[in-house]
Amino acid sequence: MLRTGIKELWLLFLSGTLIAINWYGFIYAVNSGNALQASLGYYIFPLVAVFLGIVFNREKFTYIQFLSISLVVVSVISLVYMNGEVPSLALILAFSFGFYGLIKSNVKLDPISSVTFETILITPLTIFLMILFSEPIIKTDVLFSDITIILLAFSGLITAVPLVLFSKGTKVFSYATVGLIQYLNPTIQFLIAIFYFKEEFQLGHAMAFFLIWFALFIYSFESISKELNKAGKSASRLSKKIK
């Protein structure tokens, strides 16, 4: 029992560290003019999750999944070749969130408790890093009058709520529905990066995004087909029982 508890705490500490890396990577990407890479990273994430499931959970992959993952690899190579740009931020965001999901799948706690615990566990580490690397804090009399501090406080809440809702959503809605809805986030980021931040969108970016969009399309089509087949079989079994 004690070993189980310690193992659970270690898993939550690791998941907390990974989501902290993910958050920091996203904040850094936006503040450094790389919101386009953030969008790319969250587009890649679903296929990274499939790849990690195959490698660590020994899940069987289909030819469609293999093709989708291959297209992601080709998209990254095309971006490096055509733009001379390694999408390091995008890969960090995709793999940190991918490993986060992999670890959380082995945690038995409910969504709210697990998010709370992992936040508490990484708090000492974050405080230590802030003291070590940050500049001296501003004076107390202007601490609460600075709009930046207020926005930062609310950004923590805004970040935590979607994590809890995502965990809940995976249990309430079908996998296909969750999979399709999660593409809204990088799509909004993509539009903001192009039309609001006016980031440079070169031919290499266009090729990379096109390949990833195509990969996600065929991957989502297969997921929806499987969900429909399962629903059809369940309905058929239910009708037979009624008869």
pLDDT the model gives residue 138: 54
71-118 pLDDT tens trace: 988 988 888 888 787 889 999 999 998 898 888 888 888 777 888 888
- Nearest in space to 15 (alpha carbons), one of 93, 94, 105, 91: 105
How high does pLDDT run on average in the chain?
A: 81
Whole-angstrom Cα distance, residue 202 to residue 208?
Answer: 10
Q: What is the mean pLDDT of residues 15-31?
A: 91
Q: Does position 132 have pLDDT exceeding 60, yes or no? A: yes
Nearest CA-CA partner of 18 in 116, 144, 102, 127: 102
Distances (CA, A) of 135 to 123, 126, 130, 132: 19, 14, 8, 9
Domain boundaries, given as residue ranges, for the chain: 2-126+142-242
pLDDT single digits (tens) 209-236 = 999 999 888 887 887 777 677 766 666 6
In terms of Cα–Cα distance, which of 90, 6, 107 is closest to 48?
90
CA angle 79, 49, 177 (to 5 degrees): 105
Confidence of residue 2 (pLDDT cuts 50, 70, 90): very low
User: Tokens in use for 56?
Assistant: 């660590």
Can you tell me the distance from the alpha carbon of 142 to that of 132, in angstroms, rounded to the nearest whole number? Answer: 22
Task: Name residue 225's amino acid.
Answer: S
What does pTM read for this prediction? 0.80
Report d(CA 160, CA 115) in Å as an integer: 8
The CA-to-CA distance between both ends of the chain, in Å, stands at: 47
Tell me which of 145 and 197 has the higher pLDDT.
197
DSSP 72: H
Residue 209: its pLDDT value, please? 92
Q: Does residue 179 register a pLDDT over 80?
A: no
Output the CA torsion sign for 211, 216, 222, 225.
negative
Place of tokens 């469609």: 64
156-170 residue pLDDT tens: 778 778 777 776 766
In degrees to the nearest 10, what's the CA dihedral of 210, 214, 219, 220? Answer: 90
